[in-house]
Amino acid sequence: MSTESAETFTQPTSDDILRVEHISKRYGAVTALTDVSLRLERGEVLGLIGDNGAGKSTLIKIICGFQQPTSGRMLLNGEEITFSSVTDARSKGVDVVYQDLALINQLTVYHNMFLNREPVRRPLPLLRNRIMRQEAQKHLDSMGIKTLKSVDLEVASLSGGQRQAIAVARSVFSDCKVLLLDEPLAAMGVKEGAMILDLVKQVKERGISVIIIAHNYGQVLQVCDRVNLLQGGKITFDKYARDTSVEELTEMVVAEYRKALEERHREAAS
């Protein structure tokens, strides 16, 4: 990297749970990611910020197994790994929570929590609803999710924050080691956002490593241990949260806009 790498980049530790090395992703002629290297320390919360179109979502999709990179490799616990699908990644301990993708609206909270892992009776394979209900309630209680009246509610009747909370709780419930959160705070009020941030702290306390995409830098710094900035398909900034500030992050992004504006002006002039 350049000479400024000592300041702008943190040093890898021997205990990184996940490493992404020189990943690129092209869709035909479009290059979404040029050369991304990113690392996630065991038990930390990493904030991933960047402008729309910078490649944040593409990166998350690659890490969670939804898409495969054009080149580059990933290491989980120091071992090279590839994910053929989201299900594959999930079975290896890397889980993702999307805004609306995760839950089935027409099913109850507890059926969602147990989706594809439902306990059944023998010999007649009927669902053990009572056990699922109790277990789901117990798990939500243990994570401090108190906003639900009942786990019997259909997910369709929940608010955005409640859905997000259920989705996160479900990932934790299924024993994930790395949790990816794609804009968990989007379209959420202050109160609900705070609830989700509390939840992220809970998740961290359980030893799960988290990557969180967010737009609100104040909220990012509240909960993250480290922040990475993705610009033009590359990580251009990587600092521990204690070494940076909302002002610095904002300045980084604003500088990008200024540059873009200047380029536009120059193009217009020539």
Partner 1 sequence: MSDVSDTAERSPEITGASPNGPNGSPRLVRGLGMVFLNAREASITLIAVVLFIYFWASGTPAFFSHGSFVNIAEYMGPYVIIGIGLVLLMVCGEIDLSVGFVWTMSPFVMHFFIDSGLPTLLAIVITVLLLSLIGLLNGVVTTVFGVPSLITTLGSGYLVYGITLTISSAQQINLPAQSVGLGRWFGGEAWSEIIWASVLVLIFHILLRRTRWGLYTIAAGGNLLGARESGIKVNGIKIGNFMMCSGLGALAGILEAFKNDIIDPSAGQLAVVLVALAGAVIGGTAMLGGVGTMIGMWVGVLVLGELQDGFNLRGISSYKLLIIQGSAILVFMIVNTYLSRLRGSGRLAGTTSSRRTQRQKAADAEAAIADMGTSPIRGE
| Helix boundaries (H) for 64-146 | 86-91, 109-113, 129-142
- When binding is defined by CB under 8 A, the residue of 70, 147, 202, 236 that contacts partner 1 is 147
Q: Which one among 149, 268, 269, 270 touches partner 1, defined by CB under 8 A?
A: 149
Query: For the chain, what is the radius of gyration of the CA atoms?
Result: 20
Among positions 69-98, residues that touch partner 1 (CB under 8 A) are: 86-87, 90
Q: Provide, rounded to whole angstroms, the least separation between the CB of residue 147 and partner 1.
A: 4
1: tokens are 């990297």
Mind giving me the DSSP string for 125-145? --B-HHHHHHHHHHHHHHTT-
Q: Which residue bears the tokens 């439902």?
A: 118
Q: Which residues pair with 234 in a beta bridge?
A: 231
Q: Is 99 in the site for partner 1 (CB under 8 A)?
A: no
* Residue-wise burial string across 104-130, b where 16 or more C-beta atoms lie within 10 A, e elsewhere: eeeebbbbbbbeeeeeeeeeeeeeeee
Does 258 interact with partner 1 (rule: CB under 8 A)? yes
Kindly state whether residue 245 participates in binding partner 1, applying the rule CB under 8 A: no
Based on the number of CB atoms within 10 Å of its own CB, is 154 exposed (0-12), middle (13-18) or buried (19 or more)?
A: middle
Q: In the window 155-214, what residues touch partner 1 (CB under 8 A)?
A: 156-162, 186-192, 195
Nearer to partner 1, 39 or 57 (CB): 57
Return all residues near 270 (Cβ < 8 A) that are at least 6 apart: none
Options 8, 42, 99, 107; binder of partner 1; rule CB under 8 A? 107
Q: Which of 215, 225, 232, 236 binds partner 1 (CB under 8 A)?
A: 215
Measured from the CB atom, the residue of 28 and 125 that comes closer to partner 1 is: 125
**Contact footprint for partner 1 (CB under 8 A):** 51-53, 86-87, 90, 101-107, 111, 115-116, 118, 120, 125-127, 129, 147-149, 153-154, 156-162, 186-192, 195, 215-216, 250, 253-254, 257-258, 260-261
